[in-house]
Chains A and B, each alone.
Chain A
Amino acid sequence: MIGRLFDGVPRHGLVLLLGLGLLLLAAPLIATDYLLTVLILILYFAYTGQAWNIMFGFAGQLSLGHAIFVGLGAYAASALYVHFAIAPWIGLIPAIGIAVACGAAIAFLAFRFGVSGVYFAILTIACAEFARIGFDHFGWVGGSAGFFLPVANYSRNDLWNLRGNPTMFYYVMLALTGAALLACRALLHSRTGYYWLAIREDEQAARALGINTFRYKMAAVVISAGMTSVAGVVFAFYYNNLFPEQVFHVSRSIELILAPIIGGVGTLFGPLVGAVLLTGLSEGLRELLAASGFDTPGANQVFYGICLLLVVTLIPGGVWPPLARALRLTVRDGG
C-alpha cells in the first residue's frame, strides 16, 4: 500500500526524496535552537500550505480564511486540555470534528447557493472574521485577553501531552508534513483527485462527465479543513498562548497561502519548496539586515515584499515547476 504510493516515481527522484528525508531527520542533531525554530516554522507552513492546496490547488476553491481552521483546532484542543485535562492527541479528534463541521457548513452554504470564485473567497474571509470577533467574546477560552496553556517544563519531553522542547515539536511537524505529502499524493492519484482537477479546470465540463461536483467540492473543503486544524493543535501547544486577534486574523490566512503560491499551486512539492524559500528568506533577511547594521524597523518587510513581487512576476507558476524540470521530475507531483 505504502509502496504503491511511490509507483511511477523515477529512481533519482526516490534518491532525492530519501536524501531530503534523512537530512530533515538528522537536522536537530546539528541545528542550533534558532535554526530549529526556523525549521519548525518551515514545516508548519509546508503542512498548512499542503492542506490549503487541496482546496485551491487541486479542487480550485479559493479560501482566504484558512486561519479559521487553524484557530478552531488550536482552541478546541487547548480548551479541552486546560479545562478537562484531555491530552491533545485525544482532543485532536473533536478539534478535527469541529473544523470539519465548520468547513462543511461554509462549503454547504456556498456550493448549495452557487457562491463561487472570488465570492467564495470573500465568504471564507467573512467566516474567519466572524470567528475572530466571536472568540474575542468567548469567555470560556479567555476572550480577547487570550487563552494560555500551562508552560511546559522543558527538562523532559511528554509527547502524549505535547509538552516538551522544540526538538519534539520539530519531529511532530516533520511527521505531519511527511504524512500530508503522502496523503496528498495518494489523493491526487485517486478518482477523487482526478475529479478535483476536472472541477478546478472547468466545473461545467466536469458536470457533463457525470461528476457530482457539489459532493467533490465538499470533500475538498472538509479534508482541507480537517488537515489544517491538526496544525492548529500543534501550534497551540507549541506557542502556549492564543489570541483571537492574532490566530484568526486575515493576515494569518494570507501568510498560510503564500508558501503554496510561491512554490507552485496545485503541485505536491510546491508548499514545501515555498515554505523553505519564504521562511528562509524572511529569517535570512532579518539576520542579514541585523548583521549589516541597517536595522531600520520594517526594512525586513520591505525587502521581503520586493522578493515576493519578483518571484510572482518572474515565475508566476511558482518555483517548483521549473525546479522539477531541472531535476527531471514531473511538475505536478514530482513523481
Chain B
Amino acid sequence: MGALLAVERLSKRFSGVRAVENVSFAIAAGEIFAVIGPNGAGKTTLFNMIAGVFAPDQGTICFAGERIDRLSPDAACRRGIGRTFQIVRPFPALTIEENVVIGALLRAPDLHAARSEAGEALRRLDLSDKRHQPASSLTLADRKRLEVARALATKPKLLLLDEAMAGLRPTETDRMVATLREINQETGLTILLIEHVMRAVMALASRVLVLHHGAVIAEGSADEVVRHPAVLASYLGAEAV
C-alpha cells in the first residue's frame, strides 16, 4: 500500500499512566502529516517511540516496510528518520557549520563531502551567513532552523519535527512554514510534525491526527479536524471556529 510510516495499535504506559493508547495511522511518502492535541495528550511520547527513544509496550511501527519499534535513536536515524527536539539541542560550543557537518557525516564518505552537503542544508534554511558563529549565539528561531538543517543533512526519508514552531513569532513561523513547504515540494521529503501552532498546521499539513488522553479522537484533512466536535470540545475550544 506504499505507506512510508505505518503505526499500528501503538500503546505506551508510564507507571500506570496511559500516555499513548491504541494509536494507529499511516503516512504516505511525500506527505506532510501533523499530530495535534492538548498538552499531555501523548504527542511527544508517540514521537519518541517513532524516533526510537522509547520502545512501545504494544503495537508496531513500520518504516519503509520494516519494523523499527525496537531500534535505538541512532539506528532509527540511520534508517532514514531525522528529528528535531521540542527543547532545542544544538551543539552549543560548535559553529553552525560544524553542527550541520556532524549530521552530514552520517551519509557523506568524508569530511569534504560532508562540508558541501552541510552547505546545501544551510542554504535551504538561510543560515549560510551565520555558519561560522557558535550555535550558542543564535536566536531561538535560528536554533530551530539549525535543528532542521542538521536533521536534513542526515538525508532522512522522514523528518520528525517536535514543535518546530513553538516560541516563534508569527513572521518567523511563516518563514519556517515556507521553508518546510519548499523542502517538501522540491525533494518530496515526508514530514511528520507535532505542533501546537494551528497557523502552521493549517498551512502545512495535508492530514492531521488529533490525540487526546493518549487516544486518537479525530483524523482527516486540516479543515475537517478543526470542525470536528470532539476536537473543538477537548482542544481548540468552540471559539476556534
Contact = CB atoms under 8 A, between A and B. Distances in A.
Contacts of A195: 102, 105
A213 B78 CA distance: 13
B73 A198 contact: no
Contact of B91 (A191, A197, A213): A197
Nearest to A189: B111
A211 B91 contact: no
Contacts of B72: 207
B213 to A, nearest CB: 27
A204 interface: yes
A202 B91 contact: yes
Nearest to B156: A210
A213 B74 contact: yes
What is the interface of chain A mostly: helix, strand, loop, or mixed? helix
Interface in B80-101: 82-83, 85, 89-94, 98, 101
B103 interface: yes
A190 interface: yes
Contact of B89 (A202, A210, A212, A266): A202
Nearest to A191: B105
Contacts of B106: 209-211
A201 interface: yes
B94 A207 contact: no
A130 interface: no
A206 B42 CA distance: 24
Contacts of B93: 197, 201, 266
Interface in B109-147: 110-111
Contacts of A210: 74-75, 77-78, 106, 154
Interface in A125-142: none
A205 interface: yes
Given A189-B111, A191-B111, A204-B89, A209 B103 contact: yes
B154 A209 contact: yes
A205 B85 contact: yes
A294 interface: no
Interface residues of B, number: 27
B49 interface: no
A204 B73 contact: yes
Nearest to B72: A207
B34 interface: no
Interface in A207-242: 207-213
Nearest to A202: B89
B51 interface: yes
B94 A201 contact: yes
B150 interface: yes
B115 to A, nearest CB: 11
A205 B78 contact: no
A206 B111 CA distance: 17
A119 interface: no
Contacts of B75: 210
Nearest to B160: A208
Contact of B77 (A189, A202, A208): A208
B51 A208 contact: yes
**Most chain A beta-carbon neighbours within 10 Å: one of B72, B83, B91:** B91
B105 A201 contact: no
Interface centre among B74, B83, B85, B154 (most CB of A within 10 A): B74
B52 to A, nearest CB: 8
A137 B82 CA distance: 53
A208 B85 contact: yes
B140 to A, nearest CB: 16
Interface of A: 189-191, 194-195, 197-198, 201-202, 204-213, 266
29 contacts: A191-B105, A191-B111, A194-B101, A194-B105, A194-B111, A195-B105, A197-B94, A201-B91, A201-B94, A202-B90, A204-B73, A205-B85, A205-B89, A205-B90, A205-B91, A206-B91, A206-B102, A207-B72, A208-B51, A208-B83, A208-B85, A208-B89, A208-B151, A209-B103, A209-B150, A209-B154, A210-B78, A211-B106, A213-B74
Given A195-B102, A208-B73, 19 more contacts: A194-B98, A194-B101, A194-B102, A197-B91, A201-B94, A202-B90, A202-B91, A202-B92, A205-B85, A205-B90, A208-B51, A208-B74, A208-B77, A208-B82, A208-B85, A208-B89, A209-B77, A209-B102, A212-B74
Interface of B: 51, 72-75, 77-78, 82-83, 85, 89-94, 98, 101-103, 105-106, 110-111, 150-151, 154
Report, nearest first, the 8 A-B pairs whose CB atoms are least far apart: A201-B91, A210-B77, A205-B89, A210-B106, A207-B73, A207-B74, A210-B78, A198-B102
